[in-house]
Amino acid sequence: MSKTNSYSEYKGARKRTYVLLVTTALDLFEKGAMPSVSELALEAGVSRATAYRYFPTQADLITATVNESLGPILTWRPQSEQTEDRIDELLTYAFPRMFEHEGVLRAALQASLQQWAQGRAAPQSIKDKRLERGNRKEILAMVTSPMKSEYPQEIIDKVIRAFSVIYGSEIFLVLKDIWKMDDAQVTALAQWMSKAIMNQARADNIKRKK
């Protein structure tokens, strides 16, 4: 995601206003709403001009809200020196927080889909800032760093991209909405899938050496 301001970058009254806006936005997202910056201002009881100073676009609003709600995940560090254990650690640590803030994560997905559709329909008409979602790249690069001593970059890249499918809110749409799985079942299946990915990586690496 794109870089935005956070709690720590404000002081005094400005910090209180920022906290009010983010807290209000989180509540709206968890209720299934998709507020614009103007709608957030109305709900929070501040002027539109004030809200737009903090969040010039809806993409900025969603990015800031996601980053604040998932803050602890962004500073997570693995304990293990093995990739298969690291991805298990990450899913165990991150998924409960992601489930807690599922509303805002779904809002981010919805915004991405809307921007994609607008871009297809009228590529030159998009004036709003595009929502960027890239934190998982850095996290998964850290998860797979132990592989560098034994695997070629081609296989590592495949593992990172495969992990990115199961480490993220997209998996919720399939397993929860289609298969009606609960949080624990989603976590368990994601961990099972991560093991399958690593098994395939090992098989590919052995085949490469023959």
CATH number of the domain where residue 64 is located: 1.10.10.60
Residue with token string 């602890």 = 72
Last residue of one domain, picked from the residues 18, 37, 69: 69
**pLDDT number for residue 115:** 75
Whether residue 1 lies inside any domain: the answer is no
Say if residue 49's pLDDT is above 90: yes
Residue 86 near residue 146 (C-beta atoms within 8 A) = yes
Pull the structure tokens for residue 174: 């399939």
**pLDDT number for residue 99:** 96
Choice among 2-16, 63-77, 82-96, 174-188 with the minimum mean pLDDT: 2-16
- Shared domain for 87 and 103, answered yes or no, is yes
- Shared domain for 132 and 178, answered yes or no, is yes
Q: What is the dihedral of CA 62, 134, 54, 94, to 10 degrees?
A: 60
Residue 153 near residue 165 (C-beta atoms within 8 A) = no
Say if residue 126's pLDDT is above 90: no
Whether residue 2 lies inside any domain: the answer is no
- Shared domain for 24 and 98, answered yes or no, is no
Whether residue 20 lies inside any domain: the answer is yes
Say if residue 1's pLDDT is above 50: no
- Shared domain for 39 and 101, answered yes or no, is no
- Shared domain for 118 and 143, answered yes or no, is yes
Segment 10-37 shows an average pLDDT of: 93
Q: Which domain holds residue 37?
A: 7-69
Residue with token string 């590919």 = 204
Whether residue 175 lies inside any domain: the answer is yes
Segment 2-13 shows an average pLDDT of: 67
- Shared domain for 45 and 91, answered yes or no, is no
- Shared domain for 53 and 92, answered yes or no, is no
- Shared domain for 105 and 205, answered yes or no, is yes
**pLDDT number for residue 2:** 41
Question: How many domains in the chain?
Answer: 2
Pull the structure tokens for residue 203: 């098989």
Q: Which band of pLDDT confidence, cut at 50, 70 and 90, is reported for residue 133? A: low
- Shared domain for 112 and 191, answered yes or no, is yes
Last residue of one domain, picked from the residues 36, 69, 102: 69
Cα 28 from chain centre: 18
- Shared domain for 100 and 173, answered yes or no, is yes
- Shared domain for 61 and 82, answered yes or no, is no
Segment 150-161 shows an average pLDDT of: 98
What's this model's pTM, rounded to 2 decimal places? 0.82
More confident residue, 41 or 116: 41
**pLDDT number for residue 116:** 73
Whether residue 151 lies inside any domain: the answer is yes
- Shared domain for 37 and 92, answered yes or no, is no
Average pLDDT, the chain: 90
